[in-house]
Structure 1
Amino acid sequence: MAAATLSRHVSLAFLLFFSNLLFFLPSPSSSAASPSAIDDFVSCLLSANIPADQVLTPTSTSFISVLTSSVQNARFATSSSSNATSPACIVAASDVAHVQSAVRCGRRHVIRLRVRSGGHDYEGLSYRSLRSDDVFAVLDLARLRAVRVRAGDATAWVESGATLGELYYSIGKSNPGFAFPGGACPTVGVGGYLSGGGIGLMMRKFGLGADNVLDAMLVNADGDVLDRGRMGEDLFWAIRGGGGESFGVVVSWRIKLSMVPSTVTVFNIAKTVSGDGAAVAALAKWENLILQPFMPELTIRVVLQGNTALFQSLYIGGCGRLAASMDAYFPELGMSRSDCNELTWLRAMAFITTGNITAPPEDMLRRTNNLGTSVKSKSDYVRRAIGATAWTSLFTNWLSRNNNGILILEPHGGVVGAVVPDYATPYPHRAGVLYNVQYGVFWWGDDGVNAARRWLDGVYEEMGPLVSSDPREAFVNYRDLEIGENEIGEDGLTTYESGRRWGERYFMGNFRRLAVVKGRVDPGDYFRNEQSIPPLFQSY
């Protein structure tokens, strides 16, 4: 497959993948709310001065368009296509006071909220429910998208509904010389990205996105607005990687920016698997480089599709040193100065997103979705190099047989694994992790879904002996309901034991602490979904 064709497929993949209770605010029980409760909930919202055109019910003319406005996966576009329950209402908040009112009205009238920022929700749990008796509203934060950046300031405030592309654009235009270590897909919502920890292209040098959060504004289960000082360090720890929709609604984040040179270097090198073994040799050497404390200012992620391995690099520095280092340490890749593109950080992010060196940064501002394609994803973490033999088998038996399948390898190491400890934030996949693996498979309409799922399940099974185990780690931002779902106990709360099945794979030893924090700040379990943190009423 030509590199240009692969790049177009990869871009599509990025777009798709990717306190005590107040006595007068009862927690919803597990039983369904009555129809009158919905009417009362809507009346409550309107009486709180939320504009009528921002409170949408299924009879509203714009209900479907707003519901699908940021859905990035066709298999969740409608309740009938996803075998799930749709929301009874959408609250399109444009002010923090709207968020507070939605929480308070929801508590008062026994209507739960599912909170959505960008829509890159791999199982769609921010806008759909798998419980047939669930009556809920979607709190859509897309209108809360302001980015406040000042020239020369190494911090910024960003609202949860902003996309990564909007954040990058604001930083690059208002504060050149600074950057934020975010991900590769510009349509991902900032709120979801940071809530899951946030892996990205500069984390080896500057840490995860969540490692760079300095403060946050959160609406808790009582509808109160809390900053870091008021919420306390335990809750502040939990929201920086503990997954979304468990502890409250984070409406904005204060983030630390990192200084970068006036130009950085990017390149894409595609190697086709052939008889000479060059692509497999490059993959094997790439794994061994991550084992070493090798150039944290350099990130080389790898995208595998069909018979091609695409090596995508971002280097925080100039081409001269990069080319010399690659020649000395990674000659298997065959990189030369002619592969280099020296760009501003902002333009480099636009290039990574599109694969087009002339792509204007404004392209990252498009908040578009693509509902023509369905996708299912899974994830793993690799802690020891799997080697050339395994790579050859994966290409021969799986990748070369399905051009709609994809593996994305995100290198860790550097600051992520050697400086920041596993317990510093809920994201635990640090010391000893070489890279994260994201598996994805695409299909269109109802055709090919069975074959797609067989392919995904097969490659995931083959990787089993090669990846981490006990537990087999997974990334919460690549949510996968097949590893477990919450169960509701007789007390109407999600049970800790059911949560452990999936939670210890996402959070490992940090899961129990997350559950204890949940028990303290949301003991009525108001904020919940099929993989939200369950409350645990014990100390850690």
Structure 2
Amino acid sequence: MKASQYFSMSLFLLILLISCPWLISANPHLNNFLGCLDSFYSNDIFKVIYTQNNASYSSVLNATIQNLRFSTPTTPKPLVIVTPLQTSHIQATIRCSRTNGLNLRIRSGGHDFEGLSYVSQVPFVVLDLTNFRSVKIDVKNKVAWVQSGAILGEFYSEIAKRSRTLAFPAGICHTVGVGGYLSGGGYGLLLRKYGLAVDNVIDAVFIDVNGRILKRKSMGEDLFWAIRGGGGGSFGVVLSWKVKLVSVPSTVTVFTIRKTLEENATNLVHQWQSVGHKLPGDIFSAVTMRKVNRNGKPTILVAFSSFFLGETNALITLMKARFPELGLKKEHCTEMSWIESILYFGQIQNKSIDVLLDRSYKSPLNAPWFKTKLDYVKNPIPKAGFEKIWSKLYEEDAETAAMAFIAYGGKMAEIPESATPFPHRDGNLYHIAYTVGWDGEENTKSQRYMNWIRKFYSFMTPFVSKSPRGAYVNYRDDDIGTNKKKGETSYAKASVWGRKYFKNNFEKLIYIKTKVDPHNFFKHEQSIPVSV
């Protein structure tokens, strides 16, 4: 190193430590990382660095942690959190993490179900994209550019400000970060009309392992394919996404009809399996199930919910023709705008749509501590199967459990498995999401709840997809397999979980990963491995 470089680094560290004394650390990984930033030094770099000695470190780390299973005194913490304000900060973080052998975790909204965007078992840095949250809407051309650190609610709000008849086919949990959501696929109320969120991505701005800034044309079609559903944290950092906005009527209709077992719920849900996936694409159809107490006795409450791109009368006519047994009536239905339907299905009551801008809002859809799993169903579950399912939901440790069936078909059946890394398309009647959740007062029972959902998942094996048993990367589940702690793994080991998420697309993802990140810098417990 030349004398001028030594002087430059020393000056950088001196300024850094004088300006931010909380950065002083005995940890050589951290000190070397900070020293590396010399080559990217700018006056505002101090604003984006948080070490464990900083008074704001914990609040920054915890701000978007959505599952408190990964926010305990024993949970590994990052050496430093970087909240970049400009692209050069991201390039510096990649370069300096790589140079100093630090694992890099990329966080946009903190909703990773296994905490992989902010937890690692080896020394690591969190790159938190919270400041990259710009949303630009082009109503005339029906497109938008949205940065990865924006949450879905911010994106939806910007759309709604400009049009009542444009939308984006994404999810109902408004605090989910756009970056992680699009990286894994993304389903929502419009999946049967317009497919997944990633089916509507048309360009992206991406930073690779070498710090190059690429767009669709310069990254090439293979990498552009991989980042649209191949899972976050494997290929690089997506800064922003260009997406197609989709048309919706100014008025949509929603309904929820609840039935207990004593009100013929078993027969209705059994029949729904043959109806839901055949409905027109204008309808989103879901069924949820959980144990409740009615008149002092336990039963199963089954809720049939739908979202319809049209008015009430048209929906009633359609449902009378397709599913008359449900008994849909006008009083069950509510007309509203698309943006209001996000609040309805997000179970947000007595709030204006401004709540969608609240990044700290805790969704009632998930408990503070939770475990979730997901399956795909290709053949209807028999009535006898439902009787067995009900008996499992009656178990004591299932007191906080719930199941949700989401109908496929429509546009989902028209898109080829290989169109994006997400392969679960034609042939799936619906998917099942299983969730068990608890709050702090019940934390002593956490292992019982975890054991229950794992046993229940095993019990469901005869009823769901096989060879492989499908899974969804945005419903990340480390029970189905992981890489080694440092990210290196064998093809055989990675294939166990990789084929469940991606089926035959896993091979192509490995090929692309090996080409764009051959030394496997971007890695975590379920990242795409390189070929050996």
TM, length-normalised to structure 2: 0.89
Give the secondary structure class of the aligned counterpart of 2:503: helix
Does the alignment pair 1:36 with 2:28?
yes
Alignment of 1:453-532 (within 5 A): 453-487=450-484, 493-532=488-527
Written as runs of structure 1 = structure 2, the 5 A alignment for 1:141-152 is 141-152=129-140
Q: Distance in 1 between matches of 2:467 and 2:152?
A: 34
Which of the numbers 110, 114, 126 marks the counterpart of 1:138? 126
Choose the corresponding residue for 1:301, options 286, 293, 300.
286
Residue 94 (structure 2) pairs with residue 103 (structure 1): yes
Aligned to 1:447: 444
Could you tell me how far 1:291 is from its partner in structure 2?
Answer: 4.7
CA deviation string 1:1-43 (max 9, x = no partner): xxxxxxxxxxxxxxxxxxxxxxxxxxxxxxxxx9323212123
Distance in 1 separating the partners of 2:393 and 2:378: 22
Instruction: Give 1:488 deviation, angstroms.
Output: 7.4
Choose from 339, 343, 368 the match for 1:346.
Answer: 339
CA distance in 1, matches of 2:406, 2:335: 22
Change (3 A) 1:200 1:88: same
2:59 is matched with which residue? 65
1:161 aligns with one of 149, 159, 172: 149
Aligned twin of 2:17: none
After superposition, the C-alpha distances for 1:42-85 in whole angstroms (9 at most, x for unaligned) are 233365325313101100111111111100111111351x4xx2
Could you report, residue by residue, the CA deviation over 1:161-218 in whole angstroms, capped at 9, with x for unpaired residues? Answer: 1111111111111232111111121111111111111111111110100100000001
Deviations 1:275-319 (A, max 9, x none): x4x211221121101353x21110111221212112221111111
Distance between the aligned counterparts of 1:388 and 1:258, measured in 2?
38
**Residue 410 (structure 1) aligned to one of 401, 406, 409:** 406
Counterparts of 2:394 and 2:50, CA distance in 1: 44
Cα RMSD, aligned residues only: 1.9
Deviations 1:122-152, CA, capped at 9 Å, x for gaps: 10011111x3xx1110000111111111333
Number of residues of Structure 1 aligned to a counterpart in Structure 2: 491
In 1, are the aligned partners of 2:202 and 2:243 still within 8 Å (CA)?
A: yes
Equivalent positions of 1:21-420 (< 5 A) are 35-45=27-37, 47-49=40-42, 50-78=44-72, 80=74, 82=75, 85-129=76-120, 131=121, 134-274=122-262, 276=263, 278-292=264-278, 294-306=279-291, 307-354=300-347, 356=349, 359-368=351-360, 370=362, 373-399=368-394, 401=396, 402-417=398-413, 419-420=414-415
Secondary structure class of the residue paired with 2:286: strand
Which amino acid letter does the alignment assign opposite residue 339 of structure 1? H
Quote how far apart the aligned CAs of 1:443 are: 2.2
CA offsets 1:359-405 (integer angstroms, 9 cap, x no match): 42112221126598211111111111113222232123325753310
Identity %: 40
Alpha-carbon distance in 2 for matches of 1:41, 1:175: 46
SS in 1 for 2:434: strand
Q: State the distance in 1 between where 2:449 and 2:372 align.
A: 11
- Separation in 2 of the partners of 1:416 and 1:291? 10
CA distance change for structure 1 residues 79 and 470 in 2, over 3 Å: closer, same or farther? Answer: farther
Please state how far the C-alpha of 1:259 moved relative to its aligned partner: 0.8
* SS of residue in 1 equivalent to 2:206: strand
Over 3 Å counting, the alpha-carbon distance change for 1:258 and 1:291 in structure 2 is closer
**Farther off after superposition, 459-468 or 36-45:** 36-45
**Matches of 1:285 and 1:105, distance apart in 2:** 57
- Inter-partner Cα distance in structure 1 for 2:48 and 2:290: 42
1:348–1:372 Cα change, 3 Å: closer
Q: Is the 8 A contact 2:290 2:393 kept in 1?
A: no
**1:213/1:35 CA distance change after superposition, 3 Å:** same
Aligned to 2:419: 424
Quick one: distance in 1 between partners of 2:455 and 2:335? 40
Match of 2:203, SS state, is strand
Q: What code does the residue aligned with 1:380 have?
A: D
Gaps of 5+ in 2: 1-25, 292-299
Tell me how far 1:351 sits from its aligned partner.
Answer: 1.6
What 5-or-longer segments of structure 1 have no aligned partner? 1-33
SS of structure 1 residue aligned to 2:274: helix
Cα distance in 2 between the residues matched to 1:378 and 1:262: 35
Choose 1 or 2 for highest CA Rg.
Answer: 2
Deviations 1:217-252 (A, max 9, x none): 011000111000010000000000000000000010
Cα distance in structure 1, aligned partners of 2:284 and 2:351 = 21
What is the match of residue 16 of structure 1? none
Greater mean alpha carbon deviation, residues 101-110 or residues 371-380: 371-380
Aligned partner letter, 2:453: L
Q: What SS does the corresponding residue of 1:487 show, helix, strand or coil?
A: coil
Cα deviations across residues 421-472 of structure 1 (Å, max 9, x unaligned)? 0000000111101111111111233321132123212321221100001111
Alpha-carbon displacement from aligned partner over 1:243-270 (angstroms, at most 9, x marks no partner): 0000000010001111111111111222
2:103 partner letter: R
* Distance in 2 (alpha carbons) for counterparts of 1:164 and 1:138: 21
